[in-house]
């Protein structure tokens, strides 16, 4: 077991003296080298679809910080793009998409098996990374969970409460269910190809899971992710999977076991002592430093980092943030965090 990469050891259930660490959005705008490469690419989507440049920005934080894992540089909206949706990014505002608001929009999309030519540059990025990453660094592939991706496809952009998606879910459940089903099946195919290209772990990001309540959470956050994991593990037995149903609250309890995941990422609001008692017995826990501390730094960053490590030291733990690192983060604060974790 000691010969395995640290992240894989934690995902297999091992409790380590020093947890492995990586950061969500660790390749991004807080790094000057990323901004230079982004400028070379011209725009965000061009960067995502350029294997050499996408691999370069994925490798940049590994060179700078020596994280235990590297996550593929891509975006959750590449999948709807591959399915035939129009996708573009507005500087300073974020993504925009053509919308799916009725059955006629859904029938214009491609099938799950028709995405791979579009996604070929992403798979090539994974192949490059599998060759160029240090031997002790785990390569993570990822996708958005169906509910979260659907919210963007229905609204055409990010929304504060996902109201358009909830309206379609309640007003036209047949169209909504068909969209979720298409995204579920396409995500299996997409992640399968990432694994074939060299990804050693995959992560499913359900950034808006918390807006689903009660039975709707089980039907549209839990069940599609369960299907995806079962589909992947039937093709790749032993593949470790991390899930992140952000802001799930009490619904975090039992989620990893229910969907067949190996690790549960938790958001900033989750108390780590509660996580140690109710979540860690069932899976590895990933999290959950407040990204704001990567901006402000100081003694609070050090003490909170050490507190999280201490709270979760009794079981398998991957140190990470409770959400992605923000563009205004100080790169030096990442060094300070790593020193607090690794001593």
Catalytic residue positions, numbered = 25, 29, 38, 75, 152
Query: Are the beta carbons of 72 and 122 closer than 8 angstroms?
Result: yes
Contacts of 286 (CB under 8 A, 6+ apart): 242, 244, 263, 264, 265, 266, 317, 318, 319, 320
Separation of alpha carbons 248 and 110, rounded Å? 31
Rg (CA), the chain: 19
Structure tokens at 28: 């991004």
Q: End-to-end distance of the chain based on CA atoms, in angstroms? A: 23
Nearest Cα to 222, choosing from 136, 59, 105, 213? 213
Structure tokens that stand for 301 in this block: 């960053």
Sign of CA dihedral 288, 294, 295, 300: positive
Non-local CB neighbours of 86 within 8 Å, separated by 6+ positions = 97, 98
Q: How many residues does the chain have?
A: 343
For CA atoms 34, 242, 281, 4, the dihedral sign is: negative
How far apart (Å, rounded) are the C-alpha atoms in residues 67 and 72?
A: 13
């Amino acid at each position: 077991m000691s010969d395995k990469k640290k992240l894989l050891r934690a995902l297999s259930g091992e409790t380590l003296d020093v947890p492995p660490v990586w950061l969500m959005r660790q390749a991004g705008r807080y790094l000057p080298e990323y901004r230079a490469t982004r400028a070379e690419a011209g725009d965000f989507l061009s960067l995502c679809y350029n294997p050499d440049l996408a691999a370069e920005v994925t490798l940049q934080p590994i060179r700078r910080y020596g994280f235990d894992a590297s996550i593929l540089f891509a975006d959750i909206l590449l999948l709807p793009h591959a399915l035939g949706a129009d996708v573009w990014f507005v500087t300073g505002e974020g993504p925009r998409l053509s919308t799916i608001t009725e059955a006629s929009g859904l029938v214009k999309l491609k099938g799950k098996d028709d995405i791979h030519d579009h996604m070929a540059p992403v798979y090539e990025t994974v192949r490059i990374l599998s060759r160029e990453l240090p031997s002790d660094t785990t390569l993570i592939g990822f996708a958005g969970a169906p509910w979260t991706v659907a919210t963007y496809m229905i609204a055409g952009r990010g929304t504060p409460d996902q109201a358009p998606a909830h309206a379609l879910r309640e007003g036209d459940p047949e169209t909504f269910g068909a969209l979720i089903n298409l995204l579920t099946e396409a995500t299996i195919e997409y992640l399968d190809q990432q694994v074939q290209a060299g990804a050693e772990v995959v992560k499913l990001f359900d950034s808006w899971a918390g807006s689903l309540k009660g039975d709707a959470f089980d039907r549209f956050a839990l069940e599609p992710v369960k299907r995806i994991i079962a589909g992947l593990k039937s093709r790749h037995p032993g593949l470790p999977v991390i899930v992140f149903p952000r802001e799930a609250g009490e619904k975090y309890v039992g989620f990893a076991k229910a969907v067949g995941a190996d690790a549960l990422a938790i958001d900033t609001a989750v108390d780590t002592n509660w996580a140690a008692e109710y979540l860690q017995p069932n899976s590895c826990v990933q999290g959950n430093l407040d990204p704001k501390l990567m901006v402000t730094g100081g003694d609070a960053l050090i003490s909170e980092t050490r507190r999280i490590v201490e709270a979760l030291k009794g079981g398998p733990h991957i140190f990470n943030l409770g959400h992605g690192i923000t563009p205004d983060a100080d790169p030096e604060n990442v060094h300070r965090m790593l020193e607090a974790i690794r001593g």
